[in-house]
Structure 1
Amino acid sequence: MNTPTPALVTRRGAVPLPRLALLLLCAAYVLPGLFGRDPWRNADLTAYALMEAMASGRTGWLNPTLGGMPLDTPLLPHWLGAASVTLLGPLLGGPLAARLPFALLLAATLVLLWYAAYHLARTEAAQPVAFAFGGEAAPVDYARAMADAALLAFIATLGLLQMGHETTPELAQLAAMAGVLWALAAAPFRPRLARVAALIAWPTLAVCGAPAVALITGIGGTVVCRQSGYAEVRVMARWVAGATLLAVTLATLGGTWAWRVGSGWSPGDAWSIGRQWLWFLWPAWPAVLWTLWRWRRHLGHRHVAVPLVLLVAALAANLAMRGSDRALLLALPGAAVLAAFALPTLRRSATAAIDWLSMCFFTTCAIAVWVIYVAMMTGVPAKPAANVAKLAPDFAPAFLWADLLPALLASGVWLWLVHWRTGRHREAVWKSMVLPAGGVALVWLLLMSLWRPLLDHARSASPWVETLRPHLSASPDCLAAPDLPMALVAALEVHGPWRVQARADADCGWQLKVLRDQPRGAQPPPAPAGWVLQAAVRRPTDREELTVLWRRLPR
């Protein structure tokens, strides 16, 4: 006897989200931050510097180096960015050209997630309860509504906001993880295409830097497929196992099989990781827990087991790496799908609480962004303007209609959305995720329009490099930067551009060192023997770092 599902969805509750509205929401999430900014510290800048060095021929494509130092990073995502810089850089500029393929990866992730949730919701075990006199949701309509809910939950997660808009290998891993999810979900309905997707997704996940996650999801996916009631899915188990074996082999040959496992756990680490999970997976994690409780008698069915395998694999990697947010990013596709299956089981009071919390929080955030923007432009209110001047003393705000108009449009859409949601629109199963997803997209668009110049000034390394430029000769032979963080080496190569040598034995006519815990007014240390102090400068937005530049004396 089949166990009844806890989902109660009427035919009116399965109405799909309008396609134009869904596409505009995705565009409002993907496009802001793509144009008009420098690569930001730290991972974003380091990845772009390596791509630009490969594209310009300063380093090889098979064994790339930055500042003469090899990097422990997967090659495939950097090849993708470097190829785009090579082809489109002369037309669009290097940073935008490097971002384009990664923006497409984010868009592909959204598409794969939607279709994965759609296929999982179409399975018999995921269907809502059939009413005695009819009126329940049709299977296809229900699946579409659940896919909309999963996509909204994915966009609403806070952890995706920054890393989803970087040019880093983790975004390629995320797209591969979404491919794994789709391959497992589509097996009963698109068996041939699902097998091809498995042979692509698992090896891609491994060679992009997550072989351990690929292995765990491959083992878990094989077990889930073997226990399925669909004959096509049981056949899929062999393909998943083969794809996993191929992934492990390629990761071993490519040198990406590196265990970055932390040691020396302490109670403080557990507390820190717990807090990280709370904010990174918000607002999905409460819904995930509710799904696991309400669907506890269905944990073996694919619509729960498949996303749960992906979620557990990513959480295990996060724990093993002592709280790496890069590993936790891979938990988002599984968490979003699980969160969607909580929505048909929520009571009206719970959905109302989600709506009011989202409305109050994101409206407050939007007001804060607008107030500080007006203060930057006009000096009123005086206190926010003074705080901006204190935190970014060299920043000169400039008014641009291209920044203001999208922000005004997005704010107007948000007000309409709040008005719509607070009205009598209670039927749609995805309704509780509209305000969280719309609020995240709103705040991101406001930040990337109204605050984009300020954030670019604060997070770009270009202002720091500009403080060094007057003190360096026009074309120094080379600049030694031993023990300098790779992000700063990347900044020197991208914004200099100077030939930087980060090796300890570098023999250059110039040497640069960054000193920590140096408050303003602190004197630079004496120059090493054979060197003379050329300059001591500070990053405009950093109060505790002192950069000293030494020039070698004639020998």
Structure 2
Amino acid sequence: MATTSPALVTREAARPLPRLALLLLCAAYVIPGVFGRDPWKNADLAAFGQMLALAEGRASWMDPALGGVSTGSALLPHWLGAGFIALTSPWLAPALAARIPFALLLALTLVALWYASYHLARTDKAQPVAFAFGGEPDAVDYARAMADASLLALMATLGLLQLGHETTPELAQLAAVAGLQWALAAAPFRPRGSRAAMLASLTALAACGAPAMALAMGLLAALVCWKSSYPQVRPLAWWALVGSVLAVGAAVLLHAWSWRVMPDLALPQARQFGRLLLWFLWPVWPLALWTLWRWRGHFGHRHLSVPLATAAVALLASAGMGGSDRALMLGLPGLAVLAAFALPTLRRHASAAVDWFSVIFFSLVALFVWLMYVAMQTGVPAKPAANVARLAPGYVVQFSWLALLAAGAGTLAWLWLVRWRTGRHRSALWKSLVLPASGVALTWLLLMTLWLPLLDYARSYGPHVRQMARHIRPGECLAAPGLPWALTAALEFHGRWRVDRSAGAGGAVARADAACAVLLVSASRQAVPPAPAGWVEQVRLRRPTDSEELTLLYRRAVQ
């Protein structure tokens, strides 16, 4: 029995977002944070430290390590960052060089998502209802508007904001998932490109540290292709199976298998996972649920089955890993497509509620960022300035004309957009996601310009390492058994010391490398361990912006 499309779209509503505006919005989302900052704790710094160790020859390219200890991390993403560091040295700073390929991966994710949505919206079952007297949109125009909407939905998602701007393997995994989704979506229109993308995406996903997800997505992709109503798509099922085999082979060859699924999900963890879903997937989760309800008779059609396949695997993996936000991030491309298909069925009052919430929320956020910036620069208002001094002791205020101009331009663009959106421009299909996506981009731009020096001081280990440099001579060897990976990377990057993390814990501390005259132990303020035998405590250091985290510095006792 044929199922009627719930989408009601006029030709006027299917006009695309102006290309220049869309490109500028994407640039405002991708570029801020690439320049002018250190790697931040924890995962960002740990991954960068491994890339730097590979590029400088302090670790084997087949076994990334920090402090002389293997991390067991995925190889492909670290090769990518290390390769850029080696190729651009000495012209670019290592942190910037490592960040560039991952910014390109984020841009690639956006491009792959746009084209995947475009191809899915072109299919017959995704088309809106044809009106009796005409006026429905052309299929290509409708597909472009839907692709714009899905791109806006992804940029509006809160969970992608920080994780999408890190130099971590998960960002490479996200690009691979977006590539796989494009391969499935474009299969009826680009069969050769889809085959190549299918093989490359599944193999890359496994090589980037997610082999189990690659295998699950590959098998689901084969099922989606096999059940397709397009005859030219069904043979792609075999390519999906071959891609799954290649993914398994890549995982075995690169030692990428790592079982991280928890045996059970306790009630407190389930509640925490529920809270994670609520904020991490905002605003795509209510739109995606609305899509599943309004298009409930279309689950077997490509515009729902393709994004559902990728999103479902990521959601289940995140739940199985105890509520992992990084696994959940891999479901965002699929959820963004589902969110876009809610827009042709969304009622006007719901669209207006999204608009007004976005206007009020992001305007207040922008006002708060500007208020704190003025307080930091001038000392007025006094209370916010005092709060900054209390929370970040030792921070020296910095001023940049370039940052101020960029933030001012972004704020003016936001004010113009709010005026435009609240005017008589209500017909565009993507209108309900313009303000959420632009508000997220504005927030990120303001944080990465006006607040960047403060955030860099608070999130970097640089100030902490500079404290240690007062007590450690240049070139000294540091024994650091059990030290956090991020702090180990910071010692090697900021301090340029040789770090030996190979010593065990407890009594094995005393047997640390005899060449190391300094021992570092990480502790909390409430649980300070006694000095190991043969070592004398020199000083206790804490990060300026963290009153709980301590680093204990010992020197060998003189015999």
TM-score, structure 2 normalization? 0.97
| Aligned match of 1:537 | 541
Provide the identity percentage: 62
Other structure's SS at 2:555 match: strand
The separation in 2 between residues aligned to 1:121 and 1:525, in whole angstroms, is 61
Write the letter of the residue equivalent to 1:187: A
Assess if the C-alpha contact under 8 Å between 1:538 and 1:546 holds in 2: yes
Write the letter of the residue equivalent to 2:339: A
Give, in angstroms, the shift of residue 106 of structure 1.
0.4
**1:179-194 equivalences in 2 (<5 Å):** 179-194=179-194
Using a 3 Å threshold, how does the CA distance of structure 1 residues 234 and 390 change in structure 2: closer, same or farther? same
The separation in 2 between residues aligned to 1:405 and 1:540, in whole angstroms, is 29
**1:260-279 equivalences in 2 (<5 Å):** 260-279=260-279
| Aligned match of 1:321 | 321
1:509 aligns with 2:513: no
Give, in angstroms, the shift of residue 263 of structure 1.
3.4
The separation in 2 between residues aligned to 1:318 and 1:526, in whole angstroms, is 39
Give, in angstroms, the shift of residue 474 of structure 1.
2.5
Give, in angstroms, the shift of residue 109 of structure 1.
0.5
Give, in angstroms, the shift of residue 530 of structure 1.
2.2
| Aligned match of 1:430 | 430
- Superimposed CA distance per residue, residues 209-237 of structure 1 (whole angstroms, 9 cap, x where no aligned partner): 11111111111111111111111111111
Q: Which moved more, 1:537-546 or 1:385-394?
A: 537-546
| Aligned match of 1:284 | 284
Write the letter of the residue equivalent to 2:311: L
Other structure's SS at 1:546 match: strand
Assess if the C-alpha contact under 8 Å between 2:64 and 2:73 holds in 1: no
| Aligned match of 2:350 | 350
- Superimposed CA distance per residue, residues 110-137 of structure 1 (whole angstroms, 9 cap, x where no aligned partner): 0000000000000000000000000001
1:551 aligns with 2:551: no
Write the letter of the residue equivalent to 1:537: L
**1:483-494 equivalences in 2 (<5 Å):** 483-494=482-493
The separation in 2 between residues aligned to 1:525 and 1:436, in whole angstroms, is 48
| Aligned match of 2:27 | 27
Write the letter of the residue equivalent to 1:446: L
Write the letter of the residue equivalent to 2:197: A
Using a 3 Å threshold, how does the CA distance of structure 1 residues 525 and 268 change in structure 2: closer, same or farther? closer
The separation in 2 between residues aligned to 1:319 and 1:529, in whole angstroms, is 44
Give, in angstroms, the shift of residue 302 of structure 1.
0.5
Q: Which moved more, 1:480-489 or 1:539-548?
A: 539-548
Write the letter of the residue equivalent to 2:539: A
**1:381-460 equivalences in 2 (<5 Å):** 381-460=381-460
Give, in angstroms, the shift of residue 69 of structure 1.
1.2
1:527 aligns with 2:531: yes
Count of residue pairs the alignment pairs up: 550
1:231 aligns with 2:231: yes
The separation in 1 between residues aligned to 2:531 and 2:226, in whole angstroms, is 68
The separation in 1 between residues aligned to 2:36 and 2:189, in whole angstroms, is 43
The separation in 2 between residues aligned to 1:12 and 1:526, in whole angstroms, is 73
The separation in 1 between residues aligned to 2:424 and 2:76, in whole angstroms, is 49
Write the letter of the residue equivalent to 1:506: A
| Aligned match of 1:495 | 494
Using a 3 Å threshold, how does the CA distance of structure 1 residues 308 and 264 change in structure 2: closer, same or farther? closer
Write the letter of the residue equivalent to 1:289: L
| Aligned match of 2:301 | 301
Give, in angstroms, the shift of residue 264 of structure 1.
4.7
**1:39-438 equivalences in 2 (<5 Å):** 39-438=39-438
Give, in angstroms, the shift of residue 525 of structure 1.
6.1
The separation in 2 between residues aligned to 1:473 and 1:105, in whole angstroms, is 39
- Superimposed CA distance per residue, residues 376-428 of structure 1 (whole angstroms, 9 cap, x where no aligned partner): 00111111111101000110112110110000000000000000000111111
Assess if the C-alpha contact under 8 Å between 1:355 and 1:435 holds in 2: yes
| Aligned match of 2:508 | none
- Superimposed CA distance per residue, residues 282-327 of structure 1 (whole angstroms, 9 cap, x where no aligned partner): 0000000000000000000010000001110000110110011110
Give, in angstroms, the shift of residue 471 of structure 1.
0.5
Give, in angstroms, the shift of residue 528 of structure 1.
2.9
The separation in 1 between residues aligned to 2:234 and 2:549, in whole angstroms, is 59
The separation in 1 between residues aligned to 2:164 and 2:529, in whole angstroms, is 41
Write the letter of the residue equivalent to 1:501: D
Other structure's SS at 1:91 match: coil
Assess if the C-alpha contact under 8 Å between 1:372 and 1:385 holds in 2: yes
The separation in 2 between residues aligned to 1:155 and 1:197, in whole angstroms, is 23
Assess if the C-alpha contact under 8 Å between 2:63 and 2:72 holds in 1: no
Assess if the C-alpha contact under 8 Å between 1:288 and 1:342 holds in 2: yes
**1:466-481 equivalences in 2 (<5 Å):** 466-476=466-476, 478-481=477-480
Superposed CA RMSD in Å reads: 1.2
- Superimposed CA distance per residue, residues 448-502 of structure 1 (whole angstroms, 9 cap, x where no aligned partner): 00000000000000000011001112221x1011111111111111111111111
Write the letter of the residue equivalent to 1:490: A
Other structure's SS at 1:514 match: strand
Give, in angstroms, the shift of residue 506 of structure 1.
2.5
Other structure's SS at 1:144 match: helix
Q: Which moved more, 1:125-134 or 1:67-76?
A: 67-76
Using a 3 Å threshold, how does the CA distance of structure 1 residues 142 and 525 change in structure 2: closer, same or farther? closer
Give, in angstroms, the shift of residue 518 of structure 1.
4.2
Assess if the C-alpha contact under 8 Å between 2:64 and 2:72 holds in 1: no
The separation in 2 between residues aligned to 1:201 and 1:312, in whole angstroms, is 17
Using a 3 Å threshold, how does the CA distance of structure 1 residues 10 and 506 change in structure 2: closer, same or farther? same
Other structure's SS at 2:399 match: coil
- Superimposed CA distance per residue, residues 1-47 of structure 1 (whole angstroms, 9 cap, x where no aligned partner): 53110001110010000000000000000000000000000000000
Give, in angstroms, the shift of residue 526 of structure 1.
5.3
Write the letter of the residue equivalent to 1:454: L
The separation in 1 between residues aligned to 2:526 and 2:365, in whole angstroms, is 34
Give, in angstroms, the shift of residue 548 of structure 1.
1.6
The separation in 1 between residues aligned to 2:376 and 2:211, in whole angstroms, is 46
Write the letter of the residue equivalent to 2:537: L
The separation in 2 between residues aligned to 1:161 and 1:474, in whole angstroms, is 37
- Superimposed CA distance per residue, residues 360-390 of structure 1 (whole angstroms, 9 cap, x where no aligned partner): 1100100000000000001111111111010
The separation in 1 between residues aligned to 2:182 and 2:223, in whole angstroms, is 17
Assess if the C-alpha contact under 8 Å between 1:518 and 1:546 holds in 2: no
Assess if the C-alpha contact under 8 Å between 1:481 and 1:512 holds in 2: yes
Assess if the C-alpha contact under 8 Å between 1:518 and 1:545 holds in 2: no
- Superimposed CA distance per residue, residues 496-552 of structure 1 (whole angstroms, 9 cap, x where no aligned partner): 111111122522211011220349xxxx76533322222222211111222221111
- Superimposed CA distance per residue, residues 52-103 of structure 1 (whole angstroms, 9 cap, x where no aligned partner): 1110111111122211211121000000000000011311110000000000
The separation in 2 between residues aligned to 1:331 and 1:256, in whole angstroms, is 21
Assess if the C-alpha contact under 8 Å between 2:474 and 2:497 holds in 1: no
